[in-house]
Protein backbone atom coordinates (compact mmCIF):
# COMPACT_ATOMS: atom_id res chain seq x y z
CA UNK A 1 0.00 0.00 0.00
CA UNK A 2 1.66 3.19 -1.19
CA UNK A 3 0.42 6.28 0.70
CA UNK A 4 1.65 8.47 -2.17
CA UNK A 5 -0.36 6.57 -4.79
CA UNK A 6 -2.79 8.89 -6.61
CA UNK A 7 -5.79 6.58 -6.03
CA UNK A 8 -6.81 4.21 -3.29
CA UNK A 9 -7.26 0.73 -4.73
CA UNK A 10 -10.66 -0.51 -3.56
CA UNK A 11 -12.04 -3.99 -4.14
CA UNK A 12 -15.82 -4.19 -4.37
CA UNK A 13 -17.23 -7.48 -3.18
CA UNK A 14 -20.99 -7.33 -3.77
CA UNK A 15 -23.43 -9.90 -2.54
CA UNK A 16 -26.51 -10.56 -0.50
CA UNK A 17 -24.39 -11.87 2.44
CA UNK A 18 -27.43 -13.80 3.59
CA UNK A 19 -25.58 -14.37 5.96
CA UNK A 20 -21.92 -13.42 5.68
CA UNK A 21 -19.77 -16.48 6.41
CA UNK A 22 -16.15 -17.56 6.76
CA UNK A 23 -15.84 -18.23 3.03
CA UNK A 24 -16.64 -14.58 2.25
CA UNK A 25 -14.15 -13.35 4.85
CA UNK A 26 -11.35 -15.72 3.88
CA UNK A 27 -11.61 -14.72 0.21
CA UNK A 28 -11.76 -11.01 1.09
CA UNK A 29 -8.74 -11.34 3.38
CA UNK A 30 -6.76 -13.14 0.68
CA UNK A 31 -7.66 -10.46 -1.88
CA UNK A 32 -6.44 -7.52 0.21
CA UNK A 33 -3.29 -9.30 1.29
CA UNK A 34 -2.23 -10.72 -2.08
CA UNK A 35 -3.57 -8.47 -4.88
CA UNK A 36 -2.50 -4.92 -3.98
CA UNK A 37 -5.89 -3.69 -2.82
CA UNK A 38 -5.81 -1.03 -0.12
CA UNK A 39 -9.29 -1.89 1.10
CA UNK A 40 -12.15 -4.20 0.32
CA UNK A 41 -15.74 -2.99 0.58
CA UNK A 42 -18.56 -5.47 1.18
CA UNK A 43 -21.40 -4.07 -0.93
CA UNK A 44 -24.61 -5.44 0.58
CA UNK A 45 -27.08 -5.99 -2.24
CA UNK A 46 -30.80 -5.57 -1.56
CA UNK A 47 -31.93 -7.30 -4.76
CA UNK A 48 -29.65 -9.15 -7.14
CA UNK A 49 -31.22 -9.28 -10.63
CA UNK A 50 -30.00 -12.90 -10.98
CA UNK A 51 -31.59 -14.18 -7.76
CA UNK A 52 -35.08 -14.49 -6.35
CA UNK A 53 -35.07 -12.95 -2.89
CA UNK A 54 -37.83 -15.03 -1.30
CA UNK A 55 -35.70 -16.02 1.71
CA UNK A 56 -33.61 -12.88 1.96
CA UNK A 57 -33.16 -11.55 5.49
CA UNK A 58 -33.97 -7.83 5.91
CA UNK A 59 -31.39 -5.46 4.40
CA UNK A 60 -30.56 -3.79 7.72
CA UNK A 61 -29.97 -7.14 9.44
CA UNK A 62 -27.60 -8.35 6.70
CA UNK A 63 -25.71 -5.04 6.85
CA UNK A 64 -25.43 -5.30 10.66
CA UNK A 65 -24.03 -8.82 10.35
CA UNK A 66 -21.46 -7.69 7.77
CA UNK A 67 -20.41 -4.79 10.00
CA UNK A 68 -20.11 -7.06 13.03
CA UNK A 69 -18.09 -9.64 11.09
CA UNK A 70 -15.59 -7.19 9.59
CA UNK A 71 -15.13 -4.88 12.59
CA UNK A 72 -11.79 -6.38 13.72
CA UNK A 73 -10.10 -5.97 10.32
CA UNK A 74 -9.21 -2.37 9.40
CA UNK A 75 -8.96 -2.96 5.64
CA UNK A 76 -12.59 -4.06 5.32
CA UNK A 77 -15.58 -1.69 5.07
CA UNK A 78 -19.28 -2.20 4.62
CA UNK A 79 -21.11 -0.37 1.87
CA UNK A 80 -24.87 0.19 1.69
CA UNK A 81 -24.96 2.36 -1.44
CA UNK A 82 -27.26 -0.07 -3.23
CA UNK A 83 -29.93 0.54 -0.56
CA UNK A 84 -30.37 4.00 -2.13
CA UNK A 85 -30.28 2.91 -5.78
CA UNK A 86 -33.18 1.61 -7.90
CA UNK A 87 -34.04 -2.08 -7.57
CA UNK A 88 -32.90 -4.50 -8.81
CA UNK A 89 -29.27 -3.60 -8.19
CA UNK A 90 -27.23 -3.44 -11.36
CA UNK A 91 -23.46 -3.36 -10.97
CA UNK A 92 -22.95 -0.55 -13.47
CA UNK A 93 -25.24 1.74 -11.44
CA UNK A 94 -23.32 0.91 -8.27
CA UNK A 95 -19.97 1.57 -9.95
CA UNK A 96 -21.15 4.89 -11.38
CA UNK A 97 -22.52 6.04 -8.01
CA UNK A 98 -19.37 5.02 -6.12
CA UNK A 99 -17.07 6.62 -8.70
CA UNK A 100 -19.01 9.89 -8.42
CA UNK A 101 -18.92 9.86 -4.62
CA UNK A 102 -15.27 8.81 -4.28
CA UNK A 103 -13.20 10.29 -7.13
CA UNK A 104 -9.96 9.44 -5.31
CA UNK A 105 -10.73 5.71 -5.48
CA UNK A 106 -9.96 3.20 -8.19
CA UNK A 107 -12.55 0.45 -7.97
CA UNK A 108 -11.90 -3.21 -8.78
CA UNK A 109 -14.95 -5.41 -9.13
CA UNK A 110 -14.61 -8.84 -7.51
CA UNK A 111 -16.55 -11.64 -9.20
CA UNK A 112 -16.55 -15.40 -9.03
CA UNK A 113 -15.77 -17.57 -12.03
CA UNK A 114 -19.47 -18.43 -12.30
CA UNK A 115 -20.35 -14.76 -12.81
CA UNK A 116 -17.39 -14.09 -15.09
CA UNK A 117 -18.50 -16.85 -17.47
CA UNK A 118 -21.85 -15.07 -17.94
CA UNK A 119 -20.52 -11.54 -17.62
CA UNK A 120 -21.45 -10.68 -21.20
CA UNK A 121 -25.12 -10.89 -20.10
CA UNK A 122 -24.69 -8.25 -17.39
CA UNK A 123 -26.19 -4.81 -17.95
CA UNK A 124 -23.54 -2.55 -19.60
CA UNK A 125 -20.86 -5.25 -19.34
CA UNK A 126 -18.72 -3.58 -22.02
CA UNK A 127 -18.77 -0.27 -20.15
CA UNK A 128 -17.77 -2.04 -16.94
CA UNK A 129 -14.86 -3.76 -18.69
CA UNK A 130 -13.68 -0.56 -20.36
CA UNK A 131 -13.71 1.58 -17.20
CA UNK A 132 -13.02 -0.80 -14.31
CA UNK A 133 -10.86 -3.78 -13.60
CA UNK A 134 -12.14 -7.15 -12.45
CA UNK A 135 -10.61 -9.64 -10.07
CA UNK A 136 -12.03 -13.08 -10.88
CA UNK A 137 -11.72 -15.78 -8.23
CA UNK A 138 -12.12 -19.54 -8.80
CA UNK A 139 -15.37 -21.40 -8.16
CA UNK A 140 -15.71 -25.17 -8.23
CA UNK A 141 -17.19 -26.37 -11.52
CA UNK A 142 -16.40 -23.17 -13.46
CA UNK A 143 -13.08 -23.63 -15.31
CA UNK A 144 -11.14 -20.47 -16.08
CA UNK A 145 -8.24 -21.99 -17.99
CA UNK A 146 -9.88 -21.48 -21.40
CA UNK A 147 -10.87 -17.85 -20.86
CA UNK A 148 -9.12 -15.50 -23.29
CA UNK A 149 -7.04 -12.82 -21.56
CA UNK A 150 -8.45 -9.33 -21.15
CA UNK A 151 -6.38 -6.27 -20.11
CA UNK A 152 -8.81 -5.33 -17.33
CA UNK A 153 -9.40 -8.84 -15.99
CA UNK A 154 -7.10 -10.54 -13.53
CA UNK A 155 -7.73 -14.19 -12.70
CA UNK A 156 -6.62 -14.65 -9.08
CA UNK A 157 -5.45 -17.90 -7.56
CA UNK A 158 -7.40 -17.51 -4.33
CA UNK A 159 -8.13 -20.63 -2.29
CA UNK A 160 -11.55 -22.17 -2.89
CA UNK A 161 -13.79 -22.59 0.15
CA UNK A 162 -17.06 -24.28 -0.69
CA UNK A 163 -19.34 -22.69 1.89
CA UNK A 164 -22.68 -21.16 0.94
CA UNK A 165 -25.16 -18.97 2.74
CA UNK A 166 -27.92 -21.32 1.55
CA UNK A 167 -26.20 -24.27 3.29
CA UNK A 168 -25.91 -22.23 6.49
CA UNK A 169 -29.55 -21.06 6.46
CA UNK A 170 -30.88 -24.55 5.70
CA UNK A 171 -28.68 -26.14 8.36
CA UNK A 172 -29.77 -23.66 11.03
CA UNK A 173 -33.43 -24.10 10.02
CA UNK A 174 -33.09 -27.87 10.50
CA UNK A 175 -31.60 -27.42 13.98
CA UNK A 176 -27.96 -28.05 13.18
CA UNK A 177 -25.17 -26.14 14.90
CA UNK A 178 -23.00 -24.74 12.11
CA UNK A 179 -21.60 -21.80 14.06
CA UNK A 180 -18.01 -22.47 12.94
CA UNK A 181 -19.00 -21.61 9.37
CA UNK A 182 -19.87 -18.13 10.63
CA UNK A 183 -17.69 -15.38 12.10
CA UNK A 184 -18.11 -15.40 15.87
CA UNK A 185 -19.57 -11.87 15.82
CA UNK A 186 -22.50 -13.22 13.78
CA UNK A 187 -23.34 -16.08 16.17
CA UNK A 188 -25.77 -13.98 18.28
CA UNK A 189 -27.99 -13.49 15.21
CA UNK A 190 -28.62 -17.24 15.08
CA UNK A 191 -27.68 -18.88 18.41
Does 80 map to a domain?
yes
Report yes or no on 191 lying in a domain. Answer: no
What CATH code is carried by the domain that includes residue 85?
3.40.50.620
> For residue 147, is it within any domain?
yes
Residue 84 lies in a domain: yes
Query: In angstroms, rounded to a whole number, what is the distance separating the alpha carbons of residues 17 and 19?
Result: 4
Q: How many CA atoms lie within 13 A of 126 on its CB side?
A: 0
pLDDT, one tens digit per residue, over 52-63 is 656 899 999 999
Exposure of 77 by Cβ count < 10 A (0-12 exposed, 13-18 middle, 19+ buried)?
middle
**Domain-embedded: residue 85:** yes
**Structural domain that includes position 15:** 8-185
Q: State pLDDT tens for residues 6-52.
A: 689 999 999 999 999 999 999 999 999 999 999 999 999 997 666 66
- Does residue 1 lie within any of the structural domains? no
Q: How many domains does the chain have?
A: 1
Residue 164 lies in a domain: yes
Amino acid sequence: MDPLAPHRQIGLYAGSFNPIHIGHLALANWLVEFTGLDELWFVVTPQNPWKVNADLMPDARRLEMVEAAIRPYPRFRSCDIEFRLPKPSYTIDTLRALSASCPGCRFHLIVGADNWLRFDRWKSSEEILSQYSLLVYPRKGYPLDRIPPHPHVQIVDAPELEVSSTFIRESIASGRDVRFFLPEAVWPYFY
